[in-house]
Amino acid sequence: MPALTAKVFRTYNASVTLDKLLQDTSGDTLIEKIAAYQGANKEVAILCNHQRSVSKGHSAQMERLEGKMTEMEALLEELEVDLDRAKRGKPPLRDSDGKVKKNQNPEALTKKISATRQKLEKMRLDMRVKDDLKTVALGTSKINYMDPRITVAWCKLHEVPIEKIFNKSLLAKFAWAMEVEPDFRF
């Protein structure tokens, strides 16, 4: 076959691997599903040997994220103390400015605690993903080697907005793949 090139094999290998890895996707939240997709994309990028050097600011970014997580954990502890006081009918504590805290009813505090826990979990997951992907170039395999129909079908099947996976230019480039059925297999 005269038109058969190494890229044909790489494309086939990348697409089959992505399809196989995405079949085992699990995750309840949108964040977990996107992390699962990025993990599959990472495996394909490693298979295709798409590497990059660690950015100069990576360690500073990680330290900044750790600082934000520490602040959020402290906020969570403070909210839990406030909730405990509100349930026992004790007056609210003062905030760091010395003012009495407002909106200290148990329902509002429970909502704040839940939202803070979700943010903290998202930050942990983002941090883990960022650290895992620091030496892998995901874009090259996504743009040039993986069949976009696999990604579009996976997004439809798992109810993940395609905009979370493909940027605007990729959406335009792969417009032909957007009509694929959710049960598409490569």
Q: How far apart are CA 21 and CA 8, in angstroms?
A: 20
Tokens linked to 155 = 């997004």
Active-site annotation holds for 145? yes
- Per annotation, catalytic residue among 145, 154, 166, 174: 145
Q: How far apart are CA 40 and CA 20, in angstroms?
A: 9
Are 33 and 122 contacting, i.e. CB atoms less than 8 angstroms apart?
A: no
Element (H, E) at 87: helix 58-88
Picking from 10, 4, 9, the residue whose alpha carbon sits closest to that of residue 46 is 10
Name the DSSP class of 136.
B
Tell me which residues are annotated as active site. Answer: 145
